[in-house]
Structure 1
Amino acid sequence: MRAPREPKVKPPNIDAYDGTTDPDMHLLVYRHHMYVQGITDSTWCKYFPGTLKGVASKWFERLPAGTIRSFLELELLFSTRFMAHKEEKKTSMHLSRIQQGKDESLRSYVKRFNLEAGHIPDLPDGVVFDNFIRGLKKGSFKFDLVKKSVRTMAEVLDEAEAFIHATEICSVPKDPRGKSDRAPGAAGQKRSRAYDRERFEYNTDMYTILMDAGSKYEIDRPFPMKSPPESRDPKLYCHFHSDIGHDTNECKSLKRALDGLAAKGFLKSYISRNTGGSGKPFYKKNKSPPSKEDGNRTDPECVAVISGGLAAGGPTMRGQKDYAKRLG
């Protein structure tokens, strides 16, 4: 503490620590401030007492002279003294406690699960995936994941986002006059499907639409990318995800979000034409009465169907059943 004061050092502009919260979090914030200044170890020690107050400040003043010879020693003393206030270190066991509520929406469950998983460092993707599936209640979405042999959290989040957008589009109030936005088919012709996902072509790029529509309409933010940052192209940036990896105009999540707004009657000035369904069954009639267990359903008249290949259990019915049982 007797070392000379360095010139041009900015005192840390952080909240003072009073001894009632996690000491390691205070140390982390302090380090972030001091790192950018590139100063000596003795200066780190000299400025630290100024970030304390109350009980913590009194503790420091009572330390015997010569106790601290480096900032590393000061960190250890400080962290040990207030260790009773440290936050519990969460592990994968905490994820196993997260269950989707009976009346909880899929969007709410995904956000809650991701928030909890973000507090646990170095989680293997397989552990995150298994716990997510285990906590997911039975319903259309869980069935679709098994059917599509989804194996990673990145795939789960992509499917979840598509399912949620499909649900929102399907819940658009019907025209009270019974009219449809689509041109009527030939007389007497029966539709094989109640709904096809509406697809739109736009007269300008999606980035421009996002910049304009984002200030006018409420657009739900996409789920974060789950692929490792080092595996993505740093030259490509998505303004919808606020992350690197792909271009805004190539973002599938943004396309779904804009199509959802367009299906509700917005973005009319940007629509060049409605291409109708994709040609693939995205919605179909649910011939059986809706199950009470199925909390991840779309509108009672339509169920989102995500097409896919063989289930993860292989080509046999026995293998598929075993895989479904393993996922709960």
Structure 2
Amino acid sequence: MTLHNFPREVACRAFPLTLKGSARVWVGSLAPRSIDSFGELTRLFLTQFMASSRRRCPSAYLLTIKQGEDESLKIYLSRLNKECMIIEDQDEKITLVALLGGVWLRSQFMAELARRTPATLREFMDQVNNFINVEDTLRALTEPTRKELEQAENK
């Protein structure tokens, strides 16, 4: 929410409406009439929550994120994507190198990458999505359903 050309008093009263979670609880716990200005509210807010803010990381940090041996490709990509959100200078080439270098070396997908290494992030994402779709389809076709397991147990 942006308030342009409004008096500071309006901004001070509207500010709590933009918050959620612990920030909203904190503002609600302030004693009535204990804040004299929006500047003071700003200072108190920053002092309260500065330690919990996430630090921005350089894009080279992505190179440290690796897929675990028992971690699915889907979960690895999700975890890396979360980390991409805190990168200050995202670069597509570094992201691609991080993804290629982070895939578990003995995974089936690594064999796929060895056959056809993508040159762009878009190619990588297309390739990984196709691989995950095939994996999910095969898992759905080969895993016995709950009903089949119950029938086998009843025999």
TM-score bin (small chain): 0.5 to 0.7
Alignment of 1:1-328 (within 5 A): 32=1, 35=2, 40-42=6-8, 43-48=10-15, 52-54=27-29, 57-58=30-31, 61=34, 68=37, 71=38, 73-74=39-40, 76-91=42-57, 92=59, 94-138=61-105, 139-171=107-139, 172-173=141-142
- CA distance, structure 2, for counterparts of residue 157 and residue 141 of structure 1: 12
User: 1:84, 1:169 → 2: CA distance?
Assistant: 46
Task: Give the total of aligned pairs.
Answer: 131
Aligned CA distance change for structure 1 residues 124 and 93 (closer, same or farther; 3 Å):
closer
Contact 1:99-1:135 within 8 A present in 2 as well: yes
Change (3 A) 1:99 1:59: farther
Q: Which has the larger radius of gyration?
A: 1
In the alignment, structure 2 segments of 5+ residues that lack a partner are 18-23, 144-155
> Distance between the aligned counterparts of 1:60 and 1:134, measured in 2?
56
RMSD: 3.2
Deviations 1:46-88 (A, max 9, x none): 444786122xx24981x5x5xx4xx5x4565134422443323
Instruction: Provide closer, same or farther for how the CA distance between residues 46 and 170 of structure 1 changes in structure 2, counting only shifts above 3 A.
Output: closer
Cα pair 2:60 2:94 within 8 Å, conserved: no
**Higher fraction of strand:** 1
Q: Percent sequence identity over matched residues? A: 21
Alpha-carbon offset, residue 161 of structure 1: 0.8
- Say whether the 8 Å CA contact 1:129–1:153 is kept in structure 2: yes
Deviation at 1:158, TM superposition (A): 0.8
Sort the Cα spacing of 1:157 and 1:100 in 2 relative to 1 into closer, same or farther, 3 A: same
**Contact preservation (8 Å) 1:49, 1:60:** no
| TM-score normalised by length of structure 2 | 0.64
Amino acid at match of 1:131: A
**When the two structures are superposed, what TM-score results if normalisation uses the length of structure 1?**
0.34
The structure whose residues are more often helix, as a share, is: 2
